[in-house]
Chain A
Amino acid sequence: MSEKINLKLKSATELLNSLFEQDLADEEKYDPEVVERIKQHLGQPSVHSKAGARLADALVSLAKTRAEEVQS
């Protein structure tokens, strides 16, 4: 009962960083451009209050750019 608990949690930023650097770095499994945008908007220690909407804009813009590239 009196055993000393040594549970050190990773901070959220550390957790996200390790996800971005390991699991999500698999380019065959996850679209690297999408991962990059999520990292850019949500992977920082301080996240903007409208980061979710901004990320959506960035992803829509990515889809449009790709559509234009397909056309050309």
Chain B
Amino acid sequence: MSWAITQLSVRGVKGILNRAGDFDLAGGKSIAIYAPNAYGKSGYADAVEYLFSQDGAVEHLGKGGADSEKGGKHAIPHVLAAERDITPEVSVELYNPDSKVTMSSIREVRTGRVDAIPSELEPIICAAPAHRILRQHDLRRFVVDMEPRKKYSELSRWLGLEHLEQVLTHLTTTEQTLQRTNPDREIDERVQDITKHTNEAVTRYDQLATLQWCAVEAKRHLGIGRDISIDSLDDVDLCLQSLRERRNEIVIRQGKVSEAFEAKRAIEEITSEFPSENGQLQICETALAKAVAAEEQEEHIRAIAKNSIFQKVWNSAKDILETQTTDECPICLTPWGKTAVSSQHDALQHITGGLKSLADLTKAQSKQKKTNDQLTAVTNDLISRLRNVETAAKKLSLEGIADDVSNLAEEMKKLLETRDLPSQLQENYKTLLQQCHQLFVEKLPIVLHDVKIEGIPKPAKEIEETIEQIRMLKITLIRLAELQRESEEYRKVERSFSAVANVIQETAATLVDEVIKALQKDVIAIYQKIHPKSVIPNIYIEPDTESKTLIVRVDFYSPDRRVPPAGYLSESQINTLGLALFISSVRFFNQDFPFIFLDDIVSSYDADHRGRIVDVIAEDLLDFQVFLTTHDERFYSMLKSRLSGKRWQFERITSWTFDQGPKREVDALKSDQIGGLIKEGNAQIAGYAVRQYMEEWLDKMCAKYYAYTLHKRGPKEFDRTLFDLWGPFINRLKEIRGNFFEKHVKAQSCFQRVSAHSLLNYYSHWQANPYEWSSIGDVKYVFSEFLAFQNLFRCHSCSKELKYDHDDNRLYCTCGGQIFPSV
């Protein structure tokens, strides 16, 4: 599917104000415009670049403010646009011959930062991402001026790899983040903790050595008679308990047990007991789980025994059914055959089953009550212990702890008072248990360690220090074990990630390499075409997807001398390399919208090379719609002679004024060239040329005969039709002296046929195709009649075009012969 521009309109942009901005490019034809320097032709390139740019920028103007060196976006609108109440805008109509879809878009020039491409154009531009505007000063740009990173980014845009580039960048970020967050760093910090808490006796992560150190330290305090063995982390708690007991003994023996010491000891006991495997928190959690399970069991059995309300009836019926044989139900007196159970035996079984489920329900209810009572009891026990901690904390002036514990106790109590079923309260209950756990494991030990009790004997103080060291070592060893496992899993995940990332990175690199290889081949071929006589250097385009750079190199007279082109090639060779790269890129990447703008690209070339560039345009851009401007008349002539009649239109800008802009004129085809097109048989191309030929001739004749038309002569405007010229011209002929029209025109069959043709009555250029040429025969017919009509204005004697004397209002010829055939 490929799009072509059918109409382009520029208003109030750069040097184009309100004339010469409309281009009728029906059928997706190309256009070449010749203009001397400073006639405003580059304004068309700026307008087109603006129209198709993603962010409303024209690169050579930059994005700076009105005072910036390049002019910025403020340089895009014509300076008189606001004054003349002209909205600066570029509009386009595109047609897709494959899908037969027409699309139009208007982009008003905005000078602010936010200026996104019209949404209807975006998919077309995204599908054709290569730069489509090439100017003389851009030729060196890719080859010389761009840094390798910028080149890569440009290439990436051409290839449509921006998304992939983003993905590759994110993969690198992930890789770096994974390296930074590696648990090994924390492992090192924890090993330092071990070194610190073992007084540098153990300097690495060695659980056995650390526990042995703990055992030796404990034995030092507990005495030779006490057998201390710490083989696992579980043994550490017993060791700590023994040490606390020893410390208490020492303090009590001294006979000076303070209230504060007792308070601290009480909290310590609860603190060490609470979070342990058989501690109060675990007891509560188990009781909750049992209560929830009993509740669920009771619900389940209750659903089975839902008919328990008939228990008394069933009991009576069962007695009868077990002792007597009956023909009918003893309760409702329905014959057995008509009951749901069908027989006495089945009825008895049914009743027995029902009674059993009632018995099960009773048991389940009893169990549920018991588990509920247990939950209440253990929770009350927990609350009571929390209150004890609260009291002890207050004695130690630990107000914050006292408040926290009090709140927890209060919340627990409230939860019990709701009398909700265990399943209803379990979420809040578990949250409270978790808060208790955090308080007793993470907060209280640290706070308690900082509580200094006066009057504690030195040996007891030393034991306290050892207790703290061993406690910290236990926490550190637990964390290290976790970190060790994390580290192993981390490495596995990291390795897996790298493997996947490598596949993506390598695939991207392969893709880029393959495309570059093809591009390189095309670039060399185009280069060769423009410089066939010189030594063709091997051109290397080398992308590096990892460093995101792209370098361009050439072999300079030797395969061993690979050099940057800027330093070794001539100016025209560098320009050719740039041109070849540009043309190849649009050929490769812009096939969905094959439109390019070549703005004055041949300045640095001599005549021979210009001729070869014409060959490249004619042959390698055959399927492209080209918008070309040039100030080189010879190049323009070469193009015209090569491409006239081949879906190309040729125009000249004949003047330019500041307050009006450029003035364009069509370089129409000559009649013999049109004859050639008719022979080729394409009704659309030949028909267009015929229409243009007629339009230009009538326009000229209107001017010559002073026929008043509503439209300005010269610039091509969309809303001018043949009828607008034909009508005034014929009316003017009727006024010429000597009854010229009546005698020599009106009766002519060519006049009657031409004027009757729908071509002259089809009053609208706004329609998609205002000139419906039904066949090449129709084109041939109209053209031959029009040529005959033209001959009415030639001298009968010498065949020269007749002259018109406006003052005398008559026709004449300088040959002096008879100008009209005898009537």
Residues of A participating in the B interface, judged by any CB pair closer than 8 Å: 1-2, 4-13, 15-16, 19, 23-24, 29-31, 34-35, 38, 41-42, 45, 47, 51-53, 55-57, 59-60, 62-64, 66-67, 70-71
Contacts and interface: CB of A to CB of B under 8 A. Distances in A.
A70 B485 contact: yes
22 contacts: A1-B525, A1-B529, A11-B160, A12-B162, A13-B163, A15-B511, A16-B504, A19-B504, A19-B507, A30-B496, A30-B499, A30-B503, A34-B493, A34-B497, A38-B497, A45-B163, A47-B163, A47-B166, A52-B172, A52-B177, A57-B177, A64-B486
A28 to B, nearest CB: 12
Nearest to A38: B500
B504 A67 contact: no
A16 B163 CA distance: 10
- The main secondary structure of chain A at its interface with chain B is helix
Nearest to A6: B591
Given A24-B500, A47-B163, A70-B485, A2 B619 contact: yes
B170 A60 contact: no
Nearest to A48: B170
Interface of B: 159-164, 166-167, 169-174, 177-178, 181, 482, 485-486, 488-490, 492-494, 496-497, 499-501, 503-504, 507-508, 511, 515, 518, 522, 525-526, 529, 587-589, 591, 619-620, 622-623
A69 to B, nearest CB: 9
A62 B503 CA distance: 21
B620 A2 contact: yes
Contact of B173 (A16, A30, A56): A56
Given A9-B159, A63-B492, A52 B173 contact: yes
A58 to B, nearest CB: 9
A4 B623 CA distance: 9
A37 B526 CA distance: 46
Given A4-B623, A11-B160, A16-B167, A31 B489 contact: no
A5 B526 CA distance: 13
Contacts of B167: 12, 16, 42, 47
Contacts of A41: 170
- The main secondary structure of chain B at its interface with chain A is helix
Given A31-B496, A42-B171, 4 more contacts: A12-B164, A16-B504, A38-B171, A57-B177
Nearest to B493: A63
Given A55-B170, A56-B181, A59-B493, A16 B164 contact: yes
A53 B173 CA distance: 6
A63 to B, nearest CB: 4
Given A1-B525, A60-B178, A67 B486 contact: yes
Nearest to B526: A1
Contacts of A1: 525-526, 529, 619-620
Contacts of A16: 164, 167, 504
Nearest to A58: B174
A21 to B, nearest CB: 13
B489 A64 contact: yes
